[in-house]
A and B are shown apart, each in its own frame.
Chain A
Amino acid sequence: MTYRVSYSIYILHGIYQPKTEEVVRMTIDISPFETEMNRGFLQVLVLVLLETDMYGYSMVKQLEEKGYGLEENTLYPLLRRLEKKGLIKGKWDIREDRPRKFYVITKMGRDVRAQLLKIGQRQNEILNRLLKENQNV
């Protein structure tokens, strides 16, 4: 944010003349849009990931390895919501000195996941079709 503001001041004073794309990149903060877009995606991602038992921290690491960085404080509330809806099932493991809650997908979760994946696929098809049409215009 500081970076963006200070650059804007330079631009205002005419010290720095940016190219058009550069201005767009610097002045629009896309993080709120990204958060909005990620909300549904993360839900599907978790349902896919939980084919095997996992706990919060291991999921974060796994997703990071796959190139998807997420805010940890977003994951746990999501897991709780999915558990409440019966899509995943949680179980505390207290065998080690630190208790961990392991989650795994349920039968209902698998059904929902299959449908969500279909919806995602259809959305992609529509998007691609529209982008293609735009290219032809």
Chain B
Amino acid sequence: MSEKLENYLEEISRYLGTGKEKQEILTEIKSHIMEKAEQEYGEMTESSLAKVIDSYGSPRRVAEKYMDDQQIIAPAFKGHLLRYTALLFFVHLALAVVALIFKTQLLILPFFYIPEMDNFQALFYFPMIFIYDLGLVGIILYFVTQSGKNIRLPWPRFKLNWQKMADSQQKKPKVFLFMLMLMGYLAFVYVYVRYSTLFFKSLNPGGVEALFSPEASRWYSLALLSILGAGIFAYLVKFFIRSEWVNLLRSAAQLVILGIVINRPIENAIREFIYFDIHLVADLIIALIALILAIDFMKSLIILGIKAFKKKVSCPID
């Protein structure tokens, strides 16, 4: 057989995949090309075969015509693919941020494993999360499509109105609210300057007792003041720049501060507490703060994403 024809059929075969009828399809195409070359050009030569092959079409196009009714993922699931991936990515990324802050690994059966990583590794890991989630959703939709059944997939509606939320973020900051926050913050600063801590075990009139050791007291109090300070500073910046980027940077800064606090080991930081396991409570509180900050961070990212998308397509988004 001519080398060109052989290569041509081999390439079509590659695109046809692994179907049972592949050999029969190829034989039929081969027979057609050879007959046409002979009938229309007098004899079957390399050049006559080349002409017929060229007119028959590119191997990919030829193979695709046999697959018109075969879909990898039904086009109707495009919306589901995007929506499910977005939801999964949101949860997955928030968990990864929490794992990063706590410098720990997370294993959620059966699919999710978030390794312990440092900040630099996280830069590479976060985009991988998106690719992983897209792939996972893709595989599920592939099986749904291949089942050929009329399965109605759930269509999760985001109860949160991102559009409204994005608009509300742009509201003018209130001077009164800022003053109130500032006064509260100064009160915290005053307490810290006076007692060198913001965390107390008891507030007896005779004398207050700190919850943590002196070193830990200073460390945790300063961290709390920094996190609150970042929030107030961001609010102040909003008087001049009303952009979602301010919120994003604020959440990022707060997450970084929290990460530093958690990852600095302090020996015997918490004094004995007789009523319950204070370590567990402290861990839970920090985890809760980390989760709230991570969600806040994600929210800002999504709002910025929606704005960028809106700019591109200039249509209302629900």
A interacts with B = yes
- Contact residue among A72, A77, A80, A99 (Cβ-Cβ distance under 8 Å from B56): A72
For residue B242, which residues in chain A have a CB less than 8 angstroms away from its CB? none
Contact with A along B37-72 (1 / 0, CB 8 A): 001000000000000000111000110011011000
CB pair B25–A80 under 8 Å, yes or no, is: yes
Q: Is A57 an interface residue (CB 8 A)?
A: yes
| In contact, A77 and B66 (Cβ under 8 angstroms) | yes
> Among the listed B32, B34, B55, B69, which residue makes an inter-chain contact with A76, where contact means beta carbons less than 8 Å apart?
B32
Inter-chain CA distance A35–B28, complex, in Å, is 23
Nearest-neighbour CB distance to chain B for A103, whole angstroms, equals 11
A65 within 8 A of B: no
In the assembled complex, the Cα of A49 lies from the Cα of B210 at a distance in Å of 96
B29 interfacial by beta-carbon distance below 8 Å:
yes
Q: A71-B57, A81-B69 are in contact. Are A76 and B29 (CB under 8 A)?
A: yes
Task: Give every chain B residue within 8 A of A100 (Cβ-Cβ).
Answer: 31, 35
- The one of B24, B39, B68 in contact with A77, judged by C-beta atoms closer than 8 angstroms, is B68
Residues of B within 8 A of A74 (CB): 65
Complex partner residue of A73 from B24, B27, B56, CB under 8 angstroms: B56
* B36, CB-defined interface residue at 8 Å: yes
Bound complex: CA A73 to CA B55 (Å): 9
B21 within 8 A of A: yes
Q: State whether A72 and B65 are in contact (beta carbons under 8 Å apart), knowing that A80-B21, A80-B25 are contacts in the complex.
A: no
Closest residue of chain B to A71 (Cβ to Cβ) is: B57
Q: Mark B10-33, 1 if CB is under 8 A from A, else 0.
A: 000000000001001101110110
Q: Which residues of A contact B35 (CB under 8 A)?
A: 57, 98, 100
A73 and B36 contact, CB distance less than 8 A: no
Q: How far is the CA of A76 from the CA of B69 in the complex (A)?
A: 14
Instruction: Verify if A101 is at the interface (C-beta below 8 Å from B).
Output: yes
Q: Contacts A72-B56, A73-B62, A76-B25 given; indicate if A99 touches B68 (C-beta within 8 A).
A: no
Q: Residue of A at shortest CB range from B61?
A: A73
Given A57-B36, A73-B65, A81-B69, also A98-B31 (CB < 8 A)? yes
Which single member of B25, B32, B55, B62 contacts A57 (CB below 8 Å)?
A: B32
- CB within 8 Å for A56 and B57 given contacts A73-B62, A74-B65, A80-B66: no
How far is B62's CA from A34's CA once the two chains are assembled, in angstroms?
19
Chain A residues with Cβ below 8 Å from B68 are 77
When distances are taken between beta carbons in the complex, the residues of chain A under 8 Å from B32 are 56-57, 72, 76
A114 CA / B50 CA spacing, docked (Å) = 41
Task: Scan residues 106-131 of chain A and give those whose CB is less than 8 A from a CB of chain B.
Answer: none
CB proximity of B2 to chain A, nearest CB, Å: 14
Instruction: Report the separation of the CA atoms of residues A56 and B39 in the bound assembly, to the nearest whole angstrom.
Output: 14
Contact flags (1/0) for A69-108 with B, using CB distance below 8 Å? 0011110110011000000000000000011110000000
- Cα distance A98–B28 in the bound complex, in angstroms: 10
Q: Return the chain A residue nearest B21 by Cβ.
A: A80
Contact check, B57 vs A76: say whether CB atoms are below 8 A apart.
no
| B residues less than 8 Å from A77 (CB atoms) | 65-66, 68
| Distance between Cα atoms of A118 and B25 in the complex (Å) | 32
B31 to chain A, nearest CB (A): 5
CB contact under 8 A between A76 and B31, given known A57-B36, A71-B57, A81-B69: no
Q: Which A residues lie within 8 Å of B62 (CB)? A: 73
Binding site for B on A (CB under 8 A): 56-57, 71-74, 76-77, 80-81, 98-101
Q: Please give 20 more A-B residue pairs, beta carbons under 8 A apart, in addition to A72-B32, A98-B34.
A: A56-B32, A57-B35, A57-B36, A57-B39, A72-B55, A72-B56, A73-B57, A73-B65, A76-B25, A76-B29, A76-B65, A77-B65, A77-B66, A77-B68, A80-B66, A98-B35, A99-B27, A100-B31, A100-B35, A101-B31
Closest 9 CB pairs of A and B: A77-B65, A73-B57, A77-B66, A73-B62, A57-B35, A57-B32, A56-B32, A98-B31, A101-B28
Instruction: Show 15 A/B contacts (Cβ-Cβ < 8 Å), sorted by A.
Output: A56-B31, A57-B31, A57-B32, A57-B36, A57-B39, A72-B36, A73-B56, A73-B65, A74-B65, A76-B25, A76-B65, A80-B21, A80-B66, A101-B28, A101-B31
